[in-house]
């Protein structure tokens, strides 16, 4: 077995190892008291815009005010769900609950109503803190009365509803009176205090049980492995209900970075410039989209040869320790505000070309890998340790290995460490399948390169076994097809050819972008578009071994069925084809 090394600590080496979120909150307030922790935009109209700056001291105090108010209201020991778009009150509520008050249940605001209701029932939520933008759904939950939620708290003032501001006001009075009961609530860092539902259908979604030690151990390792600075400005783009989003935010708090909120995907580039964003956690689609947009501009301006030469030159100079990337590509960096320096991608495989492109321009772009069950990060890269296409090396404190590798060294990736979950809530069978002798079975197939880096081949359950015994990992081919500029979504799967269920034809379903087809190829007719796509697939096939070549192509401009985290539901897509 190839030697597997950890991602070595290189940053924030003096950082204390916090045991729980209260220690993280207090520690950041002590280390960076006057640093801006959050930048909040208040927009009354297109011209009436103001910004509120919340320091780390203020953040700590406001969390304590809300917590003290909630304690007095009788919410100690309760299961408290939080739902809404990323916002300061969302995160404030999350911390207030976890600083000794109860168990937090972050919920995805994009869930279908039935699944949201099911999640509240299955988590035994007593209290629901919600964004008033979701009032219609909240009223339906109240009307149906199927959950055991007795108290609804609006994140901002909302009619006669109990609200976060009202609880803060009560909590402020309590703390000013000298009552520090909330500040001294005991926290067991190893107890389960977070229930996070995995993405999936109502019957499939599992509630992952996490402790605060799971989270803080991951935060500690990431801050020591990744270059997060107290002078940084972060864009909180990933949803907080997703563990990559929430743990990423904890990393920013632990590192003393300021956080701003995105106005929406179509405003992302504008917001990056507006807030002078220097780093953020994101999903591959975002990195790839930004990179494609940049390269499209380069092409439009006739700068392809100039940029290609600049990339070669800068790579050559880097061998001698001379870094001129940010000067050489200043025009490109200025499109992204001029301050962006670091991007961490996770949650799915990313196109190596996009990662390499960002790095060539002087923006450090790395990939991480993990899952909700690992709170979430298992492996990662940094600018010192990187192989394009890999998911890096295990972070500090985490062990990984390949379980039952085949002759090619490919087997299931398994992991263990302080970040691994306690199990699935009220699902012993699923827990026993996933946690075996302390090892978390990820369900992903992987191998370790000669350089000691981990490469994901695909999901174990997605592997296509051909009649000749060859294994095909669809995700590998999907990456190639996704590089086509008009591809919005892609799925590679196996279809039975005839009566023999072992005789499988590799097939692909492609969702194309009609506007790109029209603008770049002058195509609007479905048959012509289909023929064009098949021609591109034939070209890709020429680069692949015969057994990996796509034989059937299905095209559409209609989106596929996906989870709320953007992953295609393969079973639902293929069962009707």
pLDDT grade for 309, boundaries at 50, 70 and 90:
very high
Whole-Å CA distances, 306 to 168, 326, 338, 361, 454:
57, 15, 20, 13, 34
CA atoms within 13 A on the CB side of 247: 33
Q: Are 389 and 474 in contact (CB under 8 A)?
A: no
A 10 A CB-CB count for 302 gives 8
Identify the CATH homologous superfamily for domain 463-574.
Answer: ANL, C-terminal domain (3.30.300.30)
Domain chopping of the chain, boundaries: 21-186, 279-459, 463-574
Helical packing angle, 526-541 and 474-482, nearest 10° = 120
Does the domain made of 21-186 have the CATH classification 3.40.50.12780?
A: yes
Q: What is the pLDDT of residues 253-269, one digit of tens each?
A: 999 999 999 998 888 88
A 10 A CB-CB count for 114 gives 10
Pick the CATH number of 279-459 from 1.10.3720.10, 3.40.50.300, 3.40.30.10, 3.40.50.12780: 3.40.50.12780
Would you say residue 49 has pLDDT above 90? yes
Domains 21-186 and 279-459 share a fold: yes
Q: pTM of the entire structure?
A: 0.86
Q: What is the pLDDT of residues 348-370, one digit of tens each?
A: 777 788 889 899 999 999 999 99
- Here the tokens at position 387 are 């192989």
Would you say residue 288 has pLDDT above 60? yes
Q: What is the pLDDT of residues 470-519, one digit of tens each?
A: 778 888 898 899 889 999 999 998 888 766 656 788 999 999 999 999 99
pLDDT of residue 201: 40
Residue percentage of the chain with pLDDT more than 90: 69
CA 28 to chain centre: 23
Q: What is the mean pLDDT of residues 526-531?
A: 93
Q: Are 88 and 164 in contact (CB under 8 A)?
A: no
């Amino acid at each position: 077995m190839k030697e597997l090394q950890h991602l070595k600590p290189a940053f924030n080496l003096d950082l204390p190892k916090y045991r729980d979120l209260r220690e993280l909150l207090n520690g950041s307030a002590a280390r960076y008291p006057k640093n801006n922790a959050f930048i909040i935009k208040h927009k009354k109209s297109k011209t009436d815009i103001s910004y509120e700056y919340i320091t780390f001291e203020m953040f700590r105090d406001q969390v304590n005010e809300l917590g003290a108010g909630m304690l007095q209201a009788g919410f100690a020991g309760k299961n408290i769900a939080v739902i809404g778009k990323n916002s300061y009150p969302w995160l404030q509520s999350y911390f207030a609950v976890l600083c000794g008050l109860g168990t937090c249940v972050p919920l995805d605001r994009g869930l279908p109503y039935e699944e949201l209701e099911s999640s509240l029932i299955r988590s035994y939520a007593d209290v629901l803190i919600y964004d008033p933008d979701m009032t219609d759904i909240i009223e339906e939950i109240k009307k149906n009365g199927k959950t055991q939620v007795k108290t609804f708290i609006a994140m901002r003032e909302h009619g006669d509803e109990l609200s976060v501001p009202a609880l803060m006001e009560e909590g402020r009075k309590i703390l000013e009176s000298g009552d520090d009961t909330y500040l001294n609530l005991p926290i067991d860092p190893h107890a389960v205090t977070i229930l996070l539902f995995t993405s999936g259908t109502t019957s499939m979604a599992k509630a992952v049980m996490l402790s605060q030690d799971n989270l803080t151990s991951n935060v500690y390792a990431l801050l020591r492995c990744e270059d997060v600075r107290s002078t940084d400005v972060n864009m909180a783009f990933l949803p907080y209900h997703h563990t990559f989003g929430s743990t990423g935010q904890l990393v920013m708090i632990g590192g003393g970075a300021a956080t701003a909120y995105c106005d929406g995907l179509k405003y992302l580039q504008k917001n990056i410039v507006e807030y002078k964003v220097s780093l953020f956690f994101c999903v591959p689609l975002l990195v790839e989209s930004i990179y494609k947009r940049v390269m499209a501009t380069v092409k439009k301006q006739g700068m392809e040869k100039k940029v290609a030469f600049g990339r070669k030159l800068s790579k050559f100079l880097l061998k001698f320790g001379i870094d001129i990337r940010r000067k050489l590509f200043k025009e490109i960096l200025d499109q992204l505000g001029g301050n962006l320096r670091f991007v961490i991608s996770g949650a799915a495989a990313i196109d190596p070309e996009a990662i390499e492109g960002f790095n060539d321009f002087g923006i450090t772009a790395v990939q991480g890998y993990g899952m909700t069950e690992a709170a979430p990060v298992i492996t990662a890269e940094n600018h010192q340790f990187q192989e394009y296409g890999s998911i890096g090396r295990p972070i500090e404190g985490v062990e990984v290995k390949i379980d039952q590798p085949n002759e090619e060294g490919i087997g299931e990736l398994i992991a263990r460490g302080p970040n691994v979950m306690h199990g699935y809530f009220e699902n012993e069978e699923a827990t026993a399948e996933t946690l075996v002798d302390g090892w978390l079975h990820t369900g992903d197939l992987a191998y370790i390169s000669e350089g000691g880096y981990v490469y994901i081949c695909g999901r174990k359950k997605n592997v296509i076994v051909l009649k000749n015994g060859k294994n095909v990992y669809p995700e590998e081919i999907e990456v190639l097809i996704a590089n086509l500029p008009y591809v919005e979504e892609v799925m590679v799967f196996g279809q039975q050819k005839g009566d023999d269920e072992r005789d499988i034809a590799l097939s692909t379903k492609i969702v194309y972008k009609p506007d790109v087809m029209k603008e770049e190829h002058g195509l609007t007719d479905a048959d012509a578009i289909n023929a064009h796509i098949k021609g591109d697939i034939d070209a890709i096939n020429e680069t692949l071994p015969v057994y990996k070549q796509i034989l059937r192509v299905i095209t559409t401009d209609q989106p596929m069925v996906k989870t709320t985290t953007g992953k295609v539901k393969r079973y639902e897509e293929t069962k009707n084809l």
